[in-house]
């Protein structure tokens, strides 16, 4: 009897161990790179962007203004020069590009206006994996109280020189390393006019058939210095029901209870796992919502094109320091100035972004054609999937339908199907690919197969 009981206890312990969520193991190479993030450099970059006076998309872009160092043209030229400098330091590893177009007049654009997005591309080392792209973005334009005021300063230290500093710092650090997949470091213009720059870039990515796996938008990540600020966390916003879903997909989402399992939501969960694995100094606070009330951001442009995209934003914003002319009224200081930015906080957000970019670019591709067999009424669950390039194995994840994050995982080896003694009716499943160094892909939630 004792032997039977002992065997039963051992079986239950083994089963429980198999169901515990497997924590991500930090990659020593990535961890070492994160230690090189410099808050002093981030401060210098934010202050440099502020020094251009105004970065309104409607401000000057001619050669004389660029030479004088004022206006959005001068800011863009400096960002491009920084990318070029990083590329020189890594023997030309970055391909620096500009996405330029003329926006027609609209509500916030009084005349045809040139908008230029600047980006640097770190191409992947593996010919097949290099087709996969992960991207970090921000907007380098700014505004003051009046959208059409291009005379007064619009410093935009937090909104969004802070995010641009994150894109730049990620490019500086990660260009020293090489990854199987491709990373793009982007900063767009026209955000304050209506997401114009990001809309054009996302449409270009869709039209050219890019395999854009993840987009991380950093907008207002300055950790505004106020008593109510919580510098321990950064909010990560993600859409639930995909903006690009068609009617057939919407019916399936409603029928399966998949409202919290969009690709963007899986990206947000991946960021949370990455934040737990690496010592970035700031924890992701997942906000299951597209964005804040009455506000929008460039990640939505990518969502509209069907890409997984999320937004990073500080915990508590001070609206007296956004979209305001610099002034003091009744003892209240207005204006988005560097003195209100916590540069150490921005550095922590940069670490979290860099860790996520590097982890995704190191991982194998997510498994394809992930299916959950629903042909019969039974209490077991059979999952099938297509193989991933560079994968050495796969993990099945699951959680209660009411849980916000993955709770359990089971390694199934280098197989492309498995059957678990778990009822599909009670949980949400996903499958992810793993390589020999334990880099994990984004998880993919299965579709039913009858």
Whether 264 and 239 have beta carbons less than 8 Å apart is answered as yes
Residue 333: predicted pLDDT: 95
Distance CA 238, CA 284 (A): 12
First CA to last CA distance, the chain:
44
Residue 233 sits at φ, ψ, to 5 deg, of -135, 160
16 DSSP 8-state letter? H
pTM of the model: 0.94
Residue 25: predicted pLDDT: 85
Distance CA 138, CA 312 (A): 10
Task: Write out residues in the chain with pLDDT < 50, as ranges.
Answer: 1-20
- DSSP-assigned beta bridge partners for residue 313: 235
Whether 405 and 269 have beta carbons less than 8 Å apart is answered as yes
Residue 148: predicted pLDDT: 97
Contacts of 408 (CB under 8 A, 6+ apart): 19, 20, 21, 397, 398, 399
Residue 367: predicted pLDDT: 98
State how far the alpha carbon of 196 is from the alpha carbons of 107, 204, 368, 449, in Å: 12, 12, 33, 40
């Amino acid at each position: 009897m004792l032997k039977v009981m002992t065997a039963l206890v051992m079986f239950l312990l083994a089963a429980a161990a198999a169901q515990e969520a497997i924590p991500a193991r930090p990659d020593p190479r990535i961890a070492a790179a994160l230690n090189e993030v410099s808050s002093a450099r981030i401060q210098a970059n934010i202050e440099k962007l502020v020094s251009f006076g105004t970065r309104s998309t409607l401000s000057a872009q001619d050669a004389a203004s660029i030479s004088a160092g004022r206006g959005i043209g001068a800011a863009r030229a400096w960002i491009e020069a920084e990318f070029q400098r990083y590329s020189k330091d890594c023997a030309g590893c970055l391909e620096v590009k500009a996405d330029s177009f003329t926006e027609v007049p609209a509500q916030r654009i009084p005349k045809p206006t040139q908008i230029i997005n600047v980006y640097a591309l770190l191409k992947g080392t593996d010919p097949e994996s290099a087709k996969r792209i992960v991207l970090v973005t921000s907007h380098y334009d700014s505004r003051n109280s009046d959208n059409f005021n291009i005379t007064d300063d619009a410093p935009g230290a937090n909104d969004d020189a802070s995010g641009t500093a994150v894109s730049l710092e990620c490019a500086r650090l990660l260009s020293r390393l090489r990854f199987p997949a491709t990373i793009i470091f982007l900063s767009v213009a026209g955000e304050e006019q209506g997401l114009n720059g990001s809309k054009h870039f996302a449409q270009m990515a869709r039209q050219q058939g890019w395999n854009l796996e993840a987009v991380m938008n950093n907008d207002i990540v300055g950790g505004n210095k106020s008593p109510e600020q919580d510098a321990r966390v950064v909010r990560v916003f993600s859409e639930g029901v995909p903006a690009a879903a068609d009617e057939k997909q919407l019916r399936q989402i409603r029928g399966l209870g998949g409202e919290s399992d969009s690709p963007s939501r899986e990206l947000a969960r991946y960021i949370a796992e990455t934040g737990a694995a690496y010592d970035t100094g700031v924890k992701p606070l997942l906000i299951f919502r597209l964005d804040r009330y009455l506000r929008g951001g460039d990640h939505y442009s990518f969502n509209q094109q069907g890409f997984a995209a999320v937004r990073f934003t500080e915990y508590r914003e001070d609206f007296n320091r956004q979209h305001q002319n610099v002034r003091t009224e009744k003892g209240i200081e207005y204006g988005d100035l560097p003195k209100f930015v916590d540069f150490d906080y921005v550095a922590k957000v940069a670490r979290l972004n860099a860790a996520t970019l590097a982890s995704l670019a190191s991982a194998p591709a997510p498994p394809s054609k992930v299916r959950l067999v629903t042909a019969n009424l039974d209490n077991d669950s059979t999952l099938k999937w297509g193989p991933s390039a560079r994968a050495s194995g796969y993990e099945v994840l699951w959680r209660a339908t009411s849980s916000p994050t993955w709770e359990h995982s089971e390694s199934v080896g280098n197989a492309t199907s498995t059957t678990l003694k778990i009822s599909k009716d009670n949980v949400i499943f996903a499958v992810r690919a793993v390589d020999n160094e334990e880099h994990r892909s984004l998880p993919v939630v299965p579709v039913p197969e009858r």
